[in-house]
Structure formats: structure tokens, C-alpha cells
Amino acid sequence: MSTYTVTIPEDSEVFGATTGGFARFEYSAAVRARGLLFIAGQVGYRPDGSLPETIEEQTEWVLRRTEEVLRIEGLTFSDLVEVVSYHPDMQEHLAGFLETKKRFIKEPYPAWSMIGVSGLARPEFLLEVRAVAAYPDSAAQ
């Protein structure tokens, strides 16, 4: 099986100063394999590396980052087939998360699992989202 690693350009307006995290923590932003794009967990960093305090803004940046990975690969949110979101305090933040999410995610909806967790990599993270997208059949490799 051949795989292709997606690299975020250093001049990305969405990822900005945060592109160095992939090398520092030794992981890929996304990997293409067998017609699928596996997008690593995204957190709500702004391009300058700062982290918003609200779930609404963190959700926006998580989804903008996910959208940027999709765009680099010629895909859109409509190509998502599975999404998993991790929530350290789901009860407190669910309404704000869902309100922001609906601005980005439209039909056809992907399969989506929301999982409550005891914590993420930093206590300031209110959300992490990983996703899988499918390439159109003609682009499958």
C-alpha cells in the first residue's frame, strides 16, 4: 500500500506559525492512503499560535484548519466521511460547539462521533477534531 503525507506549507494563512508543531511532535497533518485522507487531530490555534478562550472560536479554528487540509488536497467538507470530536467538558461547551459547527458543516453530513474525555494535550484545549475524507473515485490511489 502506498501512502502520501500531506505537508502544510509554511506560508499557510490558516496554520501560520503553528506549522512547526508537526515536526516538533513528529506527526503528519494528514496522510492519504487507498483513496482516503486521514486528517490528524486539529486544535483551535490561531495562525499566530495563540489559543482562543471560547469554545466558539476554538471550534471555528479547528474547522478552518480541517478545511485547509482538505483544500490542499482538492477536497471540501462534503468529502468528509467520518469525524470524531473530543470534548473535555462536553456539557458546558456543547451548545457553542454545535452552533459554530453548523456554520461549516452542511449536508451531506459525515458520520460524526462526539466523545467526552478527561483531558487533551493542554488544559486550555476545549476541543480536538480528527477526520477522514474520501477522494472522488477518479482520484483514488
Residue in this structure with the C-alpha cell 483544500, named with its chain if needed:
71
Q: What is the dihedral of CA 85, 11, 122, 130, to 10 degrees?
A: 20
pLDDT at 9: 87
Q: Tell me how far apart the alpha carbons of residues 77 and 114 are, in angstroms, rounded to a whole number.
A: 17
CA–CA distances in Å: residue 111 to residues 23, 105, 114, 123, 131: 30, 12, 10, 27, 10
pLDDT at 63: 98
Instruction: State the Cα angle at 49 between 10 and 127, rounded to 5°.
Output: 110
Our count of domains for the chain comes to 1
Q: Under a CB-based contact definition with an 8 Å cutoff, are residues 102 and 56 in contact?
A: no
Q: What CATH number does residue 117 fall under?
A: 3.30.1330.40
pLDDT at 73: 96
Q: Under a CB-based contact definition with an 8 Å cutoff, are residues 24 and 129 in contact?
A: no
Name the residue range of residue 49's domain.
3-139
pLDDT at 76: 97
Q: Tell me how far apart the alpha carbons of residues 33 and 80 are, in angstroms, rounded to a whole number.
A: 15
> What are the average pLDDT values for consecutive 10-residue runs of the chain, which has 141 residues?
85 86 81 96 95 98 97 97 97 97 96 97 96 81 47
pLDDT at 138: 56
